[in-house]
Amino acid sequence: MDKLINENSIFEHDFDDWVKFFSAVGQPSYRAGQICAWIWRRRVFDPEDMTDFGKDLRARLAELLDFSPPEIIREDKSRDGTRKFLIVTTGRAKVETTLIKHGERLTACLSTQVGCPVGCPFCATGSAGFERNLSGGEIAEQLVLMEKHVGREINNVVLMGMGEPFLNTDAVLRAIRMLNDPKMRGLGVRHFTISTAGITPGIAALAASGLGVRLAVSLHAPNDELRDELIPCNTNYPLKELVAALKNYQITTGDRVTIEYALFKKKNDSLEHARQLVRLLHGLHVYVNLIPANENKNGYERSAPEDVLRFQSILKSAGFESEIRAEHGGDITAACGQLKGEENASPRPEPATRERGERMSEQKTPRGRGGAPCRKNPSVGKLKSSKNTNDTKRPNDSTNAMRRRRSSSNGRAG
């Protein structure tokens, strides 16, 4: 198992860790509930302010643990109210997160990795290279830090910031469990959405976890040839396998899945593409978000509004629920695919050619310089990441196979 970069950080402790910690220092277990309330509910990070602990205990805590919080080192505000934060995590990674306002409700878009090893050519995060996975604490702390900064509760969390959540599944599920735990932050599972580029083992792990968070899949292409180009991990998890994983996911959870489809001019927005998409999604219970692409400096242009509408009408007449997603934070590069984390990500390496069947596999490949943590085949590892730093421990959170059937509504971000 990888080593946690800052295992002493208070943000890495889940409730059980706190119970064990207090027992080890001869304190009653109710202290665990007290400290979790300070950190995750009251957003108080300095032990000196934790007034229901005596002076000696406060001193002991400060001596044994690292209370330094993550920090916001830059904030940008969009005309539409979206805010983008550059955060230094407690493990000293720099990541970007966004906060999107829908009426009175706030949605936080959290990062799961520093950069992203998948390397989709239209995405600024992917183009900036890959550095490392975030730990569960580093993912969860982004939420409470933003809540402290804006002085109120955030209502929804989407794992749609920097990184591919299912190339860091254990840490992502740990973060969600921590934020969901009523003794910690207590945010309901239905307020979380994980967005994946289609890493099928992660989809299976999410179903088996029984957690009940929502799932979104970035599809963006209705055939393998095009998807191999747009989302390089498709060579490892082709559409047939992805659709089978989604069917199994729905059998297990009963949940509707959100399909994200970004529309790029003359790439994936034709009538024929729409018809292929209808055939591909046949038999799945999905909600399709059509996203007029955010243009980055990489040659992928946004589809014309009339082509977006034509695409949607094909889906609608085939009986699919669909909406055209409004852009949030485009003027401050806070929209989907525009997060880069600046300064931190390594430059994008030369693309490598992959054959279908060369697998991206999460957590199996030992990480080292020059290798992304998600690939078995070393030639695939060359695709991304040249500046690997410390590895991040992913807590071995076992999943329970509790099964649920429920209907769901759509989870979405900007």
> At CA 42, angle to CA 58 and CA 51, rounded to 5?
30
Q: What is the CA radius of gyration of the chain?
A: 21
Options 70, 212, 232, 337; binder of ligand SAH; rule CB under 6 A: 337
Cβ contacts of residue 178 below 8 Å, gap of 6+? 14, 15, 40, 136, 137, 140, 184, 185
Q: How far apart are the first and last CA of the chain?
A: 34
Options 95, 109, 120, 239; binder of ligand SF4; rule CB under 6 A: 120
407 is written with which tokens? 């209907």
Tell me which stretch binds ligand SF4 (CB under 6 A): 69-77, 117-125, 205-213, 301-309: 117-125
CA proximity to 196, closest of 170, 166, 175? 166
Tell me which stretch binds ligand SF4 (CB under 6 A): 49-57, 118-126, 182-190, 253-261: 118-126
159 is written with which tokens? 């794992």
CB of residue 65 to ligand SF4, shortest distance in Å: 33
CB of residue 128 to ligand SAH, shortest distance in Å: 12
145 binds, among ligand SAH, ligand SF4, none (CB under 5 to 8 A by kind): none
What single string gives the DSSP state of each residue in 363-398?
TTSPP-TT--TTBSSHHHHTTS-S----------PP
* Side chain identity at residue 274, one-letter code: A
Nearer to ligand SF4, 188 or 351 (CB): 351
Task: For 15, list phi and psi in degrees, rounded to 5.
Answer: -60, -45
Is residue 294 a contact point for ligand SAH (CB under 6 A)? yes
Burial (CB count <10 Å: 0-12, 13-18, 19+), residue 202? buried
Tell me which stretch binds ligand SF4 (CB under 6 A): 52-60, 82-90, 111-119, 252-260: 111-119
Say how many residues touch ligand SAH, by CB under 6 A.
17
Cα–Cα distance for residue pair 43/279, rounded to 1 Å: 48
Is residue 126 a contact point for ligand SF4 (CB under 6 A)? yes
CA proximity to 144, closest of 44, 216, 68, 2? 44
119 binds, among ligand SAH, ligand SF4, none (CB under 5 to 8 A by kind): ligand SF4
Say how many residues touch ligand SF4, by CB under 6 A.
12
Bridge partner list, 214: 193
Options 87, 95, 144, 160; binder of ligand SAH; rule CB under 6 A: 160
Binding mask 83-122 for ligand SAH (x = CB under 6 A): ---------------------------------x-----x
Burial (CB count <10 Å: 0-12, 13-18, 19+), residue 389? middle
Active site residues: 96, 336
160 binds, among ligand SAH, ligand SF4, none (CB under 5 to 8 A by kind): ligand SAH
CB of residue 210 to ligand SF4, shortest distance in Å: 25
Alpha carbon 301 to its chain's center: 25
CB of residue 260 to ligand SAH, shortest distance in Å: 4
Binding footprint of ligand SF4 on the chain (CB under 6 A): 116, 118-120, 123, 125-126, 163-164, 197, 218, 337
Binding footprint of ligand SAH on the chain (CB under 6 A): 116, 122-123, 160, 164, 195-197, 218, 260, 262, 291, 293-294, 296, 336-337
